[in-house]
Amino acid sequence: MFADLTVLGETGIPRTVLAELHAIVGSENLRLADGELVVYARDATPLFRGIPDAVIAPADTEQVARILRLATDHGIPVVPRGAGSNLCAGTVPLTGGMVLSTARMTRILEVAPEEMLARAEAGVSTMALGNAAAADGLFYPPDPGSRTVSTIGGNVATCAGGLRGLKYGVTRNYVLGLTVVLPTGEIVRTGGRLWKDVAGYDLTRLITGSEGTLGVITEVTVALLPDPSTSRTGLAYFDSLAQAGRAVSDILAAGVIPSTLEFLDRSCMDAVEEYAHLGLHSGAGALLLFGDDGDEAIVARSFERIAAACESAGAIGVQTAGDITESEALLTARRCTLPALSRLGSLTILEDASVPRPRLAEMVARIDAIAARHRVTMATFGHAGDGNLHPTCVLESAEDTEGIARAERAFAEIFHTAIELGGTITGEHGVGAAKLPYLEQRLGSAQMDLIRRIKTAFDPAGILNPGKLGS
């Protein structure tokens, strides 16, 4: 499962090709020194490393096209990278080659209120896009935990989810059109600005979530919604995570679809509290964070029903945030859960299993049993309303190979259990290099073959993101 570290040394890219790359982007945007390459060896995923031969930062779609044409001609691997905040080793250059960074492509090209859409270059951060929409009274709902740093191009490439997924869906529900450079250098524009458009296969959806294996996304057109007039957040405390899971089922069964239903177990609460000092209940075993937005009266009614459902499910306390700042603090703290967990141990391996909502409480209980059986410390949080769980294994040190082996066995069992309950091995983080070994278990051999044939049709030379989807 874990890749070996490539050794530093002579670049694997021919001198003549380097000269051409240099001519395309200029010297300061082509990095070749050892120290400049080491920092692109990893992303936010632990344990996966691969040192590239070059890092290249093009300024626009045209430059990307020229780079990819060269790469295909010379068989040089290209790994597209946004902010490198993904959690599936999707941007690790496992076989060397070039890391293609979109960090210079950061222009918001337009916000069109009359069409309720925005157009941005791939390197724009999710938060910057959201702020630009808000300035025109509009709303871009997908909000992955890393929204302050993640890029819209990376969000589309991984079909990122987030805290508002329950009511608003995920990135794919908002992508109207894409500008994509194929590995062979052609520039294609899929979809566009239309709400209805069925001309041809839905390539926009195919490329959304393709994890940089089919083409390099350089520009994105997203649909926007009107900014909701009110948004509120509240907390309910429970004795156990399984109990919080049951409350989630009850809330949804009562016909309420809030924007946010997140839960954290005790370990996660401790880590978040240490960072954010929110004054969370110290005696509770689990916390359910709920939020809703829209018209004030409707939000108030939805909050009453959520509070009632939590209380009848055995909540030991229910609080609602006083104002927007307090709401924002709660949501920010939830988004920081994963990095905050590293306060408990220096190696955190996180997973992303997803199950049908009614099986949530059962999945939580099964994870606990698996963790106990394999003697690993497991902290669990997740998007409870989506049935999407992030069990996170915390280890003292990255050198603890025996502990890592136990964690791997525990995660293999968790994946197996998720599939058995009708779920999946990744809800929103993606497959990347981290989950590729488990993919066939979920998809079966016929789909795996189809995926490989699609990959070959897009990328005949196999240069884009090798070792990931379609490889």
Q: Provide the binding-site residues for another protein, judged by CB under 8 A.
A: 5, 8, 31, 33-36, 38-44, 46, 55, 57, 83-85, 101, 103-104, 106, 125, 127, 146, 148-149, 274-275, 336-340, 342-343, 346, 348, 397-398
285 and 231 Cβ atoms separated by less than 8 Å: no
Q: At its nearest, how many Å lie between another protein and the CB of residue 83?
A: 5
Complex with another protein: residue 8 or 225, whichever CB lies closer: 8
Token output for 98: 């070039």
Local structure of 167: helix, strand or coil: helix
The nearer residue to another protein, 197 or 326, going by C-beta atoms, is 326
Residues sharing a CB contact under 8 Å with residue 260, sequence separation 6 or more, in sequence order: 163, 164, 166, 167, 233, 289, 290, 291, 292, 331, 385
Distance in Å, CB of 150 to another protein, minimum: 8
DSSP assigned state of 354? B
Nearer to another protein, 86 or 388 (CB): 86
User: Whose Cβ is closer to another protein: residue 146's or residue 417's?
Assistant: 146
Q: Are 5 and 41 in contact (CB under 8 A)?
A: yes
Work out how close the CB of 430 gets to another protein at its nearest, in angstroms, rounded to a whole number: 16
- The phi and psi torsions of 220 (rounded to 5 degrees) equal -130, 135
Smallest gap from Cβ 342 to another protein, in A, equals 4
* Shortest distance in whole angstroms from residue 267 CB to another protein: 14
**Residue 99 or 251 with smaller CB distance to another protein:** 99
Nearest-approach distance from CB 126 to another protein, in angstroms? 11
Structure tokens at 40: 């692109």
Cβ at position 22, least distance to another protein in Å: 16
Residue (1 or 149) nearer to another protein, CB = 149
Give every CB contact of residue 163 below 8 A, 6+ residues apart in sequence: 143, 145, 259, 260, 262, 291, 331, 334, 335, 383
b/e string for 328-362 if b means 16 or more Cβ within 10 A?
Answer: ebbbebbbbbbebbeebbebbbbbbbbbebebbbe
Q: How far apart are CA 175 and CA 399, in angstroms?
A: 41
Taking the least distance from each CB to another protein, the nearer of 87 and 214 is 87
Minimum distance, C-beta of residue 276 to another protein, in the bound complex (Å): 8
**Amino acid making up residue 255:** G
Q: Are 125 and 147 in contact (CB under 8 A)?
A: yes
Closest CA to 227 of 292, 147, 140: 140
Q: How far is the CB of 106 from another protein (least distance, A)?
A: 8
Task: Return the number of the residue (346 or 471) whose C-beta is nearest another protein.
Answer: 346
Nearer to another protein, 148 or 320 (CB): 148
- 76 in Cβ contact with 67 (< 8 Å): no
Q: Mapping DSSP to helix (H, G, I), strand (E, B) and coil, where does residue 273 land?
A: helix
Helices 324-335 and 266-276, axial angle in degrees (round to 10): 120
Closer of 357 and 383 to another protein (Cβ): 383
Identify which of residues 326 and 368 has a Cβ nearer to another protein in the complex: 326
Q: Which is nearer to another protein, 44 or 318 (by Cβ)?
A: 44
CB of 346 to another protein, least distance (A): 4
Structure token digits, residue 470: 């379609």
Q: CA-CA distance, 425 to 448, in Å (whole number)?
A: 15
Q: Considering only CA atoms, which of 333, 330, 332, 337 is closest in space to residue 394?
A: 337
The three-point CA angle 61-101-129 to 5° equals: 75
DSSP character string of 252-270: HHTT---SEEEEEEHHHHH
Least spacing, CB of residue 334 vs another protein, in Å? 11
